[in-house]
Structure 1
Amino acid sequence: MPKLLIVDDDIHLRKLVLTYAELDGYQCEEAENGHKAIEKVNNTQFDIVVLDVMMPGLDGFETLGEIRRESQLPVIMLTSRSEEYDKLLGFNLGADDYLAKPFSPRELMARIGAVLKRCGNKSSDKLIFGELCISPGSRAVNIGEKAFNLPPKEFDLLLYLVQNERLVLSREQLLNKVWGYEYYGDARTVDTHIKSLREHLGEYRKVIQTTWGVGYKFEYN
């Protein structure tokens, strides 16, 4: 039974999400603020977190940042703010999905299911390119003896590019496949993630190649 943490200072919203989640077979816990959420994440094994942005004290972005220091746990963010900047900030901090309030509880459950499916269906076989080793099951990347965890969207981008080695993928294809649904924002968000991913890959940055006017591809020579 998947375990869900619902983080929101609005008790009525927490109970609404909890009701729908339990009907769909999830085991749920609640946290009314960011500090409680971090405490629960550090002490309990969750499968996914639904995290509100606008909370007093530690807001959702700060909470996500703290979670990402130690964990690649899938996180879906909720917010009453619809500005594209907020969405990009959430994704750059490592959010797996982003849903604006007011929202349909059924849509939220569908997105939870999609994120879990995407994160849970990774092959456990290692992908090796020279000293670059990618482990889909553990979502870990090694270069030689150096191991590091990529932010979730960067790892998903890398894995999808690797799974389509030598194929040029457009920004729209990457947004649709990696985010798991049609994304209507600025396709340049892919460029931001690719730039950060290349910085993380260091000496292997050149395996992600740009095809000008089209998109990106993974190619190891």
Structure 2
Amino acid sequence: MKGRVLVVDDDLALAEMLGIVLRGEGFEPSFVHDGDKALEAFRETKPDLVLLDLMLPGADGIDVCRQIRAESGVPIVMLTAKSDTVDIVLGLESGADDYIVKPFKPKELVARIRVRLRRTEEPAPEILQIGDITIDVAGHSVRRGDQPINLTPLEFDLLVALARKPRQVFTREVLLEQGWG
């Protein structure tokens, strides 16, 4: 699993360490050290996940989180030294998906990043192609070239069953099961 991670933290040593860890795990990190520049960096890098400190020069992490959340559903993980319950609740209520208190274990951070990225992955829509016939399984539509083909739900289910295994011979019973369940 690869992913672009935007790290918003003013601690340069920590950012360097995060870069080493993230690159070692196959992620592509980018960095910004100022809250006022975070939204611009977010728009430019189009990350798959944001690691966000609360205490930043310029806009604080809560403001940055709200700004990002106002225009994107990308996962945001707060990574901060603030461990009070009030801060944790404020961070989560501002739109963060997770909250990790410093000091943290790098392996746990990577595991949490992977969980957040796994939840945002959408399966590719299933499109079946047989000759010049295109079947959009999720969209429940069939086209031959540019022409739509109208099918009943039963006909569609049977066509999908046959198209998924084009070289297989089906018994009547199997086709009945596919069509009528």
Give yes or no for TM over 0.5: yes
Q: Superposition pairs for residues 125-144 of structure 1, below 5 Å?
A: none
Q: Superposition pairs for residues 49-88 of structure 1, below 5 Å?
A: 49-88=50-89
TM-score by length of 2: 0.65
Match of 1:178 in 2: none
Paired with 2:28 and 2:40, the residues of 1 have a C-alpha distance of: 18
The alignment's C-alpha RMSD in Å is: 1.8
Question: SS where residue 14 of structure 2 aligns?
Answer: helix
Match of 1:95 in 2: 96
Structure 2: stretches of 5+ with no match in the other structure: 127-181
Paired with 1:82 and 1:123, the residues of 2 have a C-alpha distance of: 39
Paired with 1:65 and 1:38, the residues of 2 have a C-alpha distance of: 10
Q: CA deviation at 1:56?
A: 2.0
What does the per-residue CA deviation read over 1:65-104, in whole Å, with 9 as the maximum and x for residues that have no partner?
A: 1111211111100111111111111111110100001111
- 1:44 to 1:98, Cα distance in 2 relative to 1, 3 A: same
Paired with 1:122 and 1:89, the residues of 2 have a C-alpha distance of: 32
Match of 1:200 in 2: none
- 1:25 to 1:66, Cα distance in 2 relative to 1, 3 A: same
Residue pair 2:6, 2:45 contacting (<8 A) in 1 also: no
Question: SS where residue 109 of structure 1 aligns?
Answer: helix
Aligned residues: 125
Q: CA deviation at 1:123?
A: 8.9
- 1:119 to 1:81, Cα distance in 2 relative to 1, 3 A: same
Question: SS where residue 90 of structure 1 aligns?
Answer: helix
Runs of 4+ in 1 over 2 A off after TM superposition: 121-125
Q: Which amino acid aligns with 1:73?
A: V
Q: CA deviation at 1:34?
A: 1.3
Q: CA deviation at 1:124?
A: 7.0
Paired with 2:97 and 2:123, the residues of 1 have a C-alpha distance of: 15
Match of 1:10 in 2: 11
Paired with 1:97 and 1:84, the residues of 2 have a C-alpha distance of: 13
Paired with 2:62 and 2:79, the residues of 1 have a C-alpha distance of: 11
TM-score by length of 1: 0.53
Question: SS where residue 111 of structure 2 aligns?
Answer: helix
Q: Which amino acid aligns with 1:71?
A: S
Paired with 1:10 and 1:68, the residues of 2 have a C-alpha distance of: 23
Percent identity for Structure 1 against Structure 2: 39
- 1:122 to 1:88, Cα distance in 2 relative to 1, 3 A: farther
Structure 1: stretches of 5+ with no match in the other structure: 126-221
Paired with 2:70 and 2:118, the residues of 1 have a C-alpha distance of: 23
Paired with 1:56 and 1:115, the residues of 2 have a C-alpha distance of: 27
Which of these two proteins has the greater Rg computed from alpha carbons? 2
What does the per-residue CA deviation read over 1:96-117, in whole Å, with 9 as the maximum and x for residues that have no partner?
A: 1000011111111111011111
Question: SS where residue 94 of structure 1 aligns?
Answer: coil
